[in-house]
């Protein structure tokens, strides 16, 4: 099992969906779940993509994309989670301790 974890850590993130599916497939194999579980979870049930215009400090308007994927709502309504954008990452890093 340790070897599989090392393979996951070394894999490049060129295609996030493919990366997710590869890790999911390995986890299902390790947990000895049936292949139907992978087939059910490999693609999102819903996918939302938005494009938001934001006026910058210099007056320029730039378009930013946002994404939301919901993979499974069998345990109840999907909610929460976290969003990842360059802006949210920059905001989080701004508050990172200098330490």
Q: Where are the domains of the chain?
A: 1-43, 44-99
Pair 30, 7: CB distance under 8 Å: no
Q: Give the chain's mean pLDDT.
A: 75
Residue 50 confidence (pLDDT) above 70 = yes
Residue 5's pLDDT band, with cuts at 50, 70 and 90, is low
User: What pLDDT does residue 99 have?
Assistant: 42
Q: Is the pTM of this model over 0.75?
A: no
pLDDT of residue 36 exceeding 80: yes
DSSP assignment of 53-78 equals EEE-TTS-EEEEEEEEEE---TTS--
């Amino acid at each position: 099992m340790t070897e599989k974890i090392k393979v996951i850590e070394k894999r490049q993130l060129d295609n996030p969906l493919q990366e997710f599916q590869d890790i999911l497939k390995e986890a299902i194999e390790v947990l000895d779940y049936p292949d139907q579980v992978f087939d059910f979870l490999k693609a999102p049930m819903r996918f939302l993509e938005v494009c938001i215009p934001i006026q910058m400090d210099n007056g320029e308007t730039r378009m930013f994309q946002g994404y939301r994927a919901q993979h499974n709502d069998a345990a109840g309504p999907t909610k929460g989670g976290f969003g990842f954008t360059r802006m949210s990452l920059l905001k989080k890093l701004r508050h990172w301790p200098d330490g």
